[in-house]
């Protein structure tokens, strides 16, 4: 089963990644909406411009058709007018006919010549009117064609510009979205790298703690075996002869059997050292042993930083669950005896 601290690191990493992805998803969705809106606006603008252009072209064609209709009306009027003049001039009961008759010229060559001239005039007027009308129609038809071509060109230009705008916006949207995705990936990698490092640190701490715990277990087994051998040899240890090795603030009842065995073994060793020191003092000799750091001549200033409570001397970062003897053996704390009391300090 994974340690709770490793699980917490993974859970925190997953939470940070989810938060990051949610933020970028919202940014990408918002970007898509904005660019799609701009593309739609460009399309609407192009459609509107095409409609306006078509209306303008339709109006131009309409005006040309109106002018062409007027030209046809003028041509019809001229045609009727010329024919009316011709019939009036050749009517034998009209003013001209009566004048010819009264002059005695009826049926003469002069009379026929006049009729021919009148007819030629009519034909000329008719032909001129027809030519003028035909030319006008041709010109107006050309204008309509030009307007339609111009309209087609304008519509094509509007369509092209609209398409270009849409393509530009689409490319910008793609590039911006791609930038967001690249930034999202980079941020994900940073978070994963950060929590991988954190995970490795926690794992290293767990391995260190496991290693220290195994050392503690091996040490306890060794002390228990030493205690067993000591007990089997028939030696006895006075319950008060441990020189204060059992913490008076907690009492020996708070220790496990293994820890008690370790304390008893250390007490026996300390008592043996004290006896040896006492013999040396009695013989006037200067004796040094494992507990020879004690001296009755030490002043109060030499006890600065020392404490009678070994637990208070444990350095920060070292587990409080280790026994005093294990901490002494590993050099985490040191001790000395002053005036019959044992003092402790972190090394």
Domain membership flag for residue 215: no
Looking at the structure, tell me whether residues 241 and 291 fall in a common domain: yes
pLDDT reading at 343 higher than 80: yes
pLDDT confidence band for 330 (50 / 70 / 90)? confident
Specify the pLDDT at position 90.
Answer: 66
Q: What is the mean pLDDT of residues 257-286?
A: 46
Looking at the structure, tell me whether residues 134 and 34 fall in a common domain: yes
CB 333 within 8 A of CB 314: yes
CA distance 146 to 79: 30
Q: What is the mean pLDDT of residues 199-225?
A: 90
Q: In terms of residue numbers, what domain contains 175?
A: 4-209
CA distance 204 to 298: 43
Domain membership flag for residue 214: no
Which of 119-123, 189-193, 290-294, 297-301 has the lowest average pLDDT? 290-294
Domain membership flag for residue 219: no
Specify the pLDDT at position 124.
Answer: 86
pLDDT reading at 164 higher than 60: yes
How many structural domains is the chain composed of? 2
pLDDT confidence band for 10 (50 / 70 / 90)? very high
CA distance 292 to 337: 8
Q: What is the mean pLDDT of residues 75-82?
A: 87
The pTM score is 0.49
Determine the angle formed by the axes of helices 109-232 and 257-282, rounding to 10 degrees.
50
Please tell me which residue, 275 or 180, carries the higher pLDDT value. Answer: 180
Q: What is the mean pLDDT of residues 71-94?
A: 78
Q: What is the DSSP letter of 95?
A: H
Domain membership flag for residue 222: no
Looking at the structure, tell me whether residues 170 and 276 fall in a common domain: no
Looking at the structure, tell me whether residues 318 and 273 fall in a common domain: yes
CATH number of the domain enclosing 165: 1.10.287
CA distance 72 to 136: 9
pLDDT reading at 257 higher than 80: no
Read off the pLDDT of residues 227-250 as tens digits, 9 standing for 90 and up.
888 888 865 444 444 444 444 344
CA distance 255 to 252: 6
Give me the half-sphere count of Cα atoms (radius 13 Å) on the Cβ side of residue 282: 6
Looking at the structure, tell me whether residues 24 and 164 fall in a common domain: yes
For residue 64, how many other CB atoms are within 10 A of its CB?
A: 19
Domain membership flag for residue 283: yes
Looking at the structure, tell me whether residues 269 and 167 fall in a common domain: no
pLDDT confidence band for 155 (50 / 70 / 90)? very high
Q: What is the mean pLDDT of residues 161-189?
A: 93
Read off the pLDDT of residues 106-142 as tens digits, 9 standing for 90 and up.
444 545 676 677 778 888 888 888 888 899 989 989 9
Specify the pLDDT at position 57.
Answer: 92
Read off the pLDDT of residues 20-73 as tens digits, 9 standing for 90 and up.
999 999 999 999 999 999 999 999 999 999 999 999 999 999 999 999 899 899
Mean pLDDT of the chain: 78
Domain membership flag for residue 226: no
Q: Is 342 helix (H, G, I), strand (E, B) or coil?
A: strand
What residues does 336 pair with on adjacent strands? 343
Looking at the structure, tell me whether residues 123 and 258 fall in a common domain: no
CA distance 334 to 254: 22
What residues does 342 pair with on adjacent strands? 337
Looking at the structure, tell me whether residues 121 and 160 fall in a common domain: yes
Domain membership flag for residue 78: yes
Which of 209, 224, 245 is the last residue before a domain boundary?
209
Please tell me which residue, 324 or 172, carries the higher pLDDT value. Answer: 172
CA distance 36 to 76: 59
Looking at the structure, tell me whether residues 280 and 177 fall in a common domain: no
Domain membership flag for residue 217: no
Looking at the structure, tell me whether residues 203 and 240 fall in a common domain: no
pLDDT confidence band for 267 (50 / 70 / 90)? very low
pLDDT confidence band for 103 (50 / 70 / 90)? low
pLDDT confidence band for 81 (50 / 70 / 90)? confident
Which of 191, 209, 227 is the last residue before a domain boundary?
209
Token reading at 197: 């490092």
Looking at the structure, tell me whether residues 70 and 187 fall in a common domain: yes
Looking at the structure, tell me whether residues 196 and 265 fall in a common domain: no
């Amino acid at each position: 089963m994974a340690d709770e601290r490793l699980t917490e690191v993974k859970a925190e990493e997953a939470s940070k990644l989810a938060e990051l992805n949610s933020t970028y998803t919202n940014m990408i969705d918002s970007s898509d909406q904005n660019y799609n809106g701009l593309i739609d606006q460009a399309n609407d603008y192009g459609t509107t411009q095409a409609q306006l252009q078509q209306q303008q072209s339709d109006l131009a064609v309409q005006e040309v058709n109106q002018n062409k209709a007027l030209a046809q009306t003028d041509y019809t009027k001229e045609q009727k007018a010329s024919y009316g003049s011709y019939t009036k001039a050749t009517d034998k009961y009209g003013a001209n006919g009566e004048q010819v008759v009264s002059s005695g010229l009826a049926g003469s060559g002069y009379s026929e010549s006049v009729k021919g001239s009148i007819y030629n005039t009519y034909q000329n007027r008719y032909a001129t009117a027809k030519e003028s009308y035909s030319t006008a129609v041709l010109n107006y038809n050309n204008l309509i064609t030009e307007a339609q071509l111009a309209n087609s060109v304008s519509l094509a230009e509007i369509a092209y510009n609209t398409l270009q705008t849409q393509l530009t916006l689409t490319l910008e949207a793609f590039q911006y979205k791609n930038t967001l995705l690249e930034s999202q990936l980079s941020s994900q990698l940073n978070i994963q790298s950060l929590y991988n490092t954190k995970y490795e640190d926690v794992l290293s701490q767990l391995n260190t703690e496991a290693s220290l715990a195994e050392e503690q277990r091996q040490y306890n087994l060794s002390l228990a075996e030493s205690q067993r051998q000591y007990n089997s040899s028939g030696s006895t240890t006075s319950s008060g002869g441990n020189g204060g090795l059992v913490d008076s603030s907690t009492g020996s009842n708070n220790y496990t059997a293994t820890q008690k065995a370790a304390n008893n073994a250390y007490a026996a060793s300390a008592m043996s050292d004290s006896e040896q020191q006492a013999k040396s003092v009695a013989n006037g000799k200067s004796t040094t042993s494992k507990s020879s750091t004690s001296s009755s001549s030490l002043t109060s200033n030499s006890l600065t930083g020392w404490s009678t409570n070994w637990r208070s001397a444990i350095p920060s970062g070292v587990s409080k669950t280790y026994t005093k003897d294990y901490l002494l053996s590993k050099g985490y704390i040191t001790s000395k005896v002053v005036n019959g009391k044992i003092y402790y300090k972190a090394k």
